[in-house]
Amino acid sequence: MSPRKKGEDARKRQAYEHVLRSIQSAYEVLIECCHEIDDIDLDAARNTRDINGILRWVHETSSEIYRAVPELAPPPSEMPARRWPVDPTKAAREEYSREDALYRLRHNLELVRLILRESGPFAGELDVDRLGLDAHLAKLNEVHAAVIQEIWKDRTDEQKRSWIRDWGMPDGVPEPPPPDRHEALERLNQKLEAAAKLLNDCAELVVELELGPRSHLRTVGTCLGTVFQIQHHIYDERPDLAPGFLKGALELKRKESQNEPGAGT
């Protein structure tokens, strides 16, 4: 065999090994998803049917690869892959709450989608039949949406608003009501106070370290000034949140604004 042929065979084998590792990882995660869907009664029959379509694709694709590269096939003595559902008398399950199960299911579904989105095109490059994997992945997205909806129901309005700020508004869930402005101003002020203390510490450290250029110190100082300005706007609505040394100045400012021409009209 020519060196060029050997090199091509080695590259192809490496590619097949990569596909096998990816789809087997996805297979194991999907098996866990099936267990968790069953545990939390998340429309198990419909959702696990969609997942089983992908499991069949993994099995058939693995068989194709084994036929193309027999040395990659597992030895006959190896234990067969675990199937769902497992026999509850033979496999002890870790006990965790419904919330834990939902978050674990969400994580596993997101992980398996990432793996299979890479494996599908890779299999296509190797002329391995994808057998409708894209359609199955679309169904898997529906399972993921159902999980998000279940998680959403159990979260407080504050947690929902925090989720929207961090990750955006999920599809298919109701928008939470706006926060109570009085309480929200207090929470915002607490966050700004923490940020101001950290920025002040950063400014001192930049000076001590002589960290050039000087624009770094100016950047930290400008950000700190912006934080103070936002806090002053908060104090206009919630003077009770102002620190003691500012209360007198704020009261004077309030009286001056009341005495301005047209203030009472």
Count Cα neighbours of 158 within 13 Å in the Cβ-side half-sphere.
6
pLDDT of residue 82: 46
Torsion from C-alpha of 240, 245, 248, 249, nearest 10 degrees: -100
Collect the ranges in the chain with pLDDT lower than 70. 1, 3, 34-51, 75-96, 130-131, 260-265
Contacts of 231 by beta carbon, 8 Å cutoff, 6+ apart: 189, 192, 193, 196
Taking the C-alpha atoms of residue 195 and residue 224, their distance in angstroms, rounded to an integer, is 8
pLDDT of residue 37: 64
Q: How many CB atoms lie within 10 A of CB 234?
A: 17
The pTM (predicted TM-score) of the whole model is: 0.47
pLDDT of residue 261: 64
Contact 105, 36 (CB under 8 A): yes
Taking the C-alpha atoms of residue 240 and residue 90, their distance in angstroms, rounded to an integer, is 62
Percent helix / strand / coil, the chain, rounded to 5: 75, 0, 25
Contact 133, 116 (CB under 8 A): yes
The pLDDT tens digits of the residues spanning 177-201 come to 887 888 888 988 998 999 999 999 9
pLDDT of residue 155: 86
pLDDT of residue 89: 47
Please name which of 207, 32, 204, 50 lies closest in space to residue 105, comparing C-alpha atoms. Answer: 32
Contact 85, 32 (CB under 8 A): no
Distances (CA, A) of 13 to 46, 60, 123, 264: 37, 18, 13, 83
pLDDT of residue 105: 86
